[in-house]
């Protein structure tokens, strides 16, 4: 018994020592000799190998030069397809074969790097697959003739738009089923199905000219194109640069004589119009009223206020400061003379309001001359003013890339800041709007 007690006491005393003893040290995994071999390869060469492996459909990952398990497995997959021993290391002959295979696929796709001025982004583009180019709501649309592949850039710079809000808006886009999405740091990606097509989006937040922006790219393609487009999508994701050095946001091309639309305000000769359409004017004329002075302008709202001295008798519209009850609106403006054989008729066009972050995009965008046009809702009220965003395109008549609506609240606040009261008149409807808008003519040096 005494011996048993001594043994038990010894175990009790030893327990704290055992509890405090450090766990056994695990031996570090031996270094991967293949990974070590790649570490000695110049970074540019490693990135080039990863890029080529994407084009051969063997690698789906970042082009960052890091050769871990995924990249090494991709090399082995290429070697297996070549009937070579799967070492994970490319000999000179295999490297040449990989480069040639990737180059062949790039040539077929017409792979090129493009600076997209409307979105101020740089992207890799399969040019032969998407030969048709046109403006989109917030950037540029590249498309195949049959619509099998569509690529769109976008740039959202409206006040209040954040990466989170753009992420949520893109994720809940009507007709879109998101299967994968990740929001991390200053970027997000998502993919899934949209209208029977596969889609992929990559977007990034950043600062341009002191203002926060979100820029991105949307890729859509038919399921039948998946075998070709899946690796191209990975290549485009890696090549996309949302805020590249040396690519500035496109500045509008302004003609020596530019035509816009103005909305008559009150009965004292005040006219509301687009700021950019009246920038740098040597002379401004409001058709039917006479010469005008620009007495106020703001860059935030892009609104300008003109004054035609001696003019009066206008019948202003009822200005609404609440949201339209539905997305269907009517634009009332004066198209550019080139759009109507030199005439100056007031025209009404139908459009829909589409949410893009905090902005309201007008779809379809109207033609030249409609910047400053009245936006009328289904109840006949003035709910905003149209503003055309024009890309940097050579020629005397550049197309409008997209149009946004300045809300009634912004108009009211702008007028309040410049001590101009909106008339309490109750003119309603498209016919009333026809009488309350006029052509604005800007003549530059």
Going by C-alpha positions, the residue among 218, 258, 277 that lies closest to residue 406 is 277
Is residue 444 within 8 Å of 257, Cβ to Cβ?
A: yes
136/154 Cα distance (integer angstroms): 8
Q: What percent of the chain has pLDDT over 70?
A: 86
Distance, in Å, from the CA atom of 103 to the CA atom of 297, rounded to the nearest integer, reads 53
| E strand or H helix at 111 | strand 111-116
Task: Write down the H helix ranges in 86-162.
Answer: 92-109
Quick: pLDDT tens for 219-277: 999 999 999 999 999 999 999 999 987 666 555 556 789 999 999 887 788 999 999 89
Confidence at residue 102, expressed as pLDDT on a 0 to 100 scale: 96
* pLDDT at position 110 over 80: yes
Structure tokens at 403: 């149009």
Q: Residue 428: what pLDDT? A: 83
CA-CA distance, 51 to 266, in Å (whole number)?
62
Tokens representing residue 33 in the block: 């000799």
Angle at 374 between CA 368 and CA 380, to 5 degrees: 140
Residue 2: its pLDDT value, please?
40
The pLDDT of residue 65 is above 50: yes
Mean pLDDT of 76-84: 96
Instruction: Give this prediction's pTM.
Output: 0.56
Q: What's the CA gap between 263 and 273, in Å, rounded?
A: 6
What is the Rg, in whole angstroms, of the alpha carbon atoms belonging to the chain? 31
Domains of the chain: 36-106 (1.10.101), 110-239 (3.40.1000.10), 257-443 (2.40.10.120)
Unique residue bearing structure tokens 């790219």: 217
* Residue 432, token pair as written in the block: 């009333």
76 vs 203: CA distance, rounded Å: 32
pLDDT at position 113 is: 93
Beta bridge partners of 218: 152, 201
């Amino acid at each position: 018994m005494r011996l048993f007690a001594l043994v038990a006491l010894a175990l009790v005393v030893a327990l704290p020592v055992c509890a405090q003893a450090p766990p056994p040290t695990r031996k570090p995994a031996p270094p991967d000799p293949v990974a070590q071999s790649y570490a000695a390869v110049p970074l540019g060469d490693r990135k080039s190998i990863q890029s080529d492996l994407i084009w051969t459909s063997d690698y789906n990952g970042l082009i960052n030069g890091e050769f871990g398990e995924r990249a090494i497995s991709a090399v082995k997959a290429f070697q297996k397809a070549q009937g070579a021993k799967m070492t994970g290391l490319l000999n000179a002959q295999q490297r040449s074969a990989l480069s040639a295979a990737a180059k062949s696929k790039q040539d077929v796709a017409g792979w090129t790097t493009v600076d997209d001025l409307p979105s101020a982004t740089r992207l890799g583009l399969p040019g032969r697959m998407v030969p048709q180019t046109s403006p989109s709501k917030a950037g540029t649309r590249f498309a195949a003739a049959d619509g099998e592949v569509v690529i769109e850039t976008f740039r959202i710079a409206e006040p209040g738009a954040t990466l989170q809000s753009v992420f949520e808006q893109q994720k809940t886009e009507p007709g879109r089923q998101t299967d994968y999405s990740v929001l991390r740091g200053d970027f997000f990606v998502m993919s899934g199905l949209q209208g029977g097509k596969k889609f992929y989006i990559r977007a990034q937040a950043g600062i341009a000219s002191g203002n926060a922006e979100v820029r991105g790219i949307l890729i859509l393609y038919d399921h039948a194109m998946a075998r070709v487009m899946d690796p191209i999508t990975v290549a485009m994701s890696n090549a996309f640069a949302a805020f590249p050095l040396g690519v500035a946001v496109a500045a509008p091309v302004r003609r020596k004589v530019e035509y816009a639309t103005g909305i008559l305000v009150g009965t004292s000769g005040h006219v509301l119009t687009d700021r950019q359409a009246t920038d740098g004017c040597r002379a401004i004329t409001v058709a039917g009223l006479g010469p005008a002075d620009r007495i106020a302008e703001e860059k935030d709202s892009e609104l300008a206020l003109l004054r035609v001295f001696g003019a009066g008798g206008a019948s202003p519209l009822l200005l609404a400061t609440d949201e339209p009850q539905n997305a269907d609106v009517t634009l009332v403006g004066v198209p550019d003379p080139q759009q109507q054989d030199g005439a100056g008729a007031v025209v009404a066009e139908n459009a829909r309001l589409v949410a893009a972050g905090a902005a309201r995009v007008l779809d379809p965008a109207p033609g030249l001359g409609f910047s400053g046009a009245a936006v009328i809702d289904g109840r006949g009220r003035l709910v905003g003013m149209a503003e055309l965003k024009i890309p940097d395109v050579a020629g005397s008549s550049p197309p409008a890339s997209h149009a946004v609506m300045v809300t009634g609240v912004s108009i009211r606040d702008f007028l309040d800041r410049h001590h101009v009261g909106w008339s309490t008149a109750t003119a309603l409807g498209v016919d009333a709007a026809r009488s309350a808008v006029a052509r604005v003519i800007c003549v530059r040096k």
